[in-house]
Amino acid sequence: MNVYIITLTWNCGDEFARCARTVTGNTITPALWAITDNGSLPAERELVEQGIADAGGRVRVVRYLRNPENVGLPAAYNEAMDWIAKNEPRPFHLILLSADTAIARLGWIRKFLDYAEANPSAGIIGGAKSPLGVCRPVYHHRNGRWYVHDKQTLAEFNQGETVDFAGVFIRAEVMARGIRFDPGYEFYDGHDQDLCFRVRSWGYTVDQIDAGILHYGSAAMKKAGYRWHGGGRHEWDALRAGNVERFAETWAEFLANHRPTVEAERAHVERMNAKLIAEAGDRKKVPGRRGQS
């Protein structure tokens, strides 16, 4: 059974080049790689294409698509998934790998496959962590953010509501059901939680393992001036607020026990937006999004 990897790039050429080197050097399981550049600036795109040219080993690049503008994560992922499904007649496993993955350690795909074989109920398996972080599934934290749960301190705890999508494995049975991201989650945040909740509603679990993937998060967003803790003012804040509302509405029944968390998340977004407007004035546009610059 083939294993496909999808990676999206957007103004993170250096990061992708590093990702390509480590994936090429540390992959011992044959895999097919579909790469989409999501509207990068010309200089960044050149670095991406150089990284593709240098890729090799057990991973073969089978597709490279250059989008003229950033269509967002859900739409770009769905387009690549549609292409694979059209061109691959047999069942296949899928890995979504962020371009700003700094290190994929030796045997990282085999770790996903071994875990999936031993745990047939696991529909989605996360395998990434920050360089200094612990590899634990995501729950709704009581402070209202999409954060890790207090149970992260338990070494044996590996099932959650969602996982870190920097490096995530989706088993063939789930792909065969035609799973796709909800395009209503514009640009970023929420699409991954939504996908996990949908897979869980089908009776699968969402698990987290340490597959040896280290993720230096949000590289492209940081280059564009966004800071998670109020250091930049960006259109992402408004997009995130809309995604929170969509997620809360779509999964209202599942979130019944988390109503205080959902309300706290809404309040947090409103406070952050008000704070950043006061500090920085007009909202910055997302570079490359729908023709914006």
Distance, in Å, from the CA atom of 49 to the CA atom of 24, rounded to the nearest integer, reads 15
Predicted TM-score (pTM) of this structure? 0.83
- What domain range includes position 130? 2-222
Look at residue 91 and tell me if it is in a domain. Answer: yes
Look at residue 126 and tell me if it is in a domain. Answer: yes
pLDDT tens track, the chain, 293 positions: 999 999 999 888 888 988 898 888 888 899 999 999 998 989 999 999 998 988 878 899 999 999 998 888 899 999 999 999 999 999 999 999 988 776 678 889 999 999 999 999 999 998 887 665 555 445 443 333 343 333 333 344 456 677 878 899 999 999 999 999 998 887 667 888 889 889 989 999 988 888 888 877 666 666 666 555 544 455 666 677 777 778 878 887 877 666 666 666 667 667 766 665 666 555 555 555 444 44
Look at residue 87 and tell me if it is in a domain. Answer: yes
Look at residue 165 and tell me if it is in a domain. Answer: yes
Distance, in Å, from the CA atom of 184 to the CA atom of 247, rounded to the nearest integer, reads 10
Look at residue 101 and tell me if it is in a domain. Answer: yes
Distance of alpha carbon 238 from its chain centroid, rounded?
19
Look at residue 9 and tell me if it is in a domain. Answer: yes
Residue with tokens 């950033």: 70
Q: Give the DSSP per-residue string, 6-66.
A: EEEESS-HHHHHHHHHHHHHH--S-EEEEEEEES--HHHHHHHHHHHHH--TTEEEEEEEE
CATH number for the domain spanning 195: value is 3.90.550.60
H or E element at residue 168:
strand 167-170
Backbone angles phi, psi at 23, to 5 degrees: -65, -45
Domain count, the chain: 1
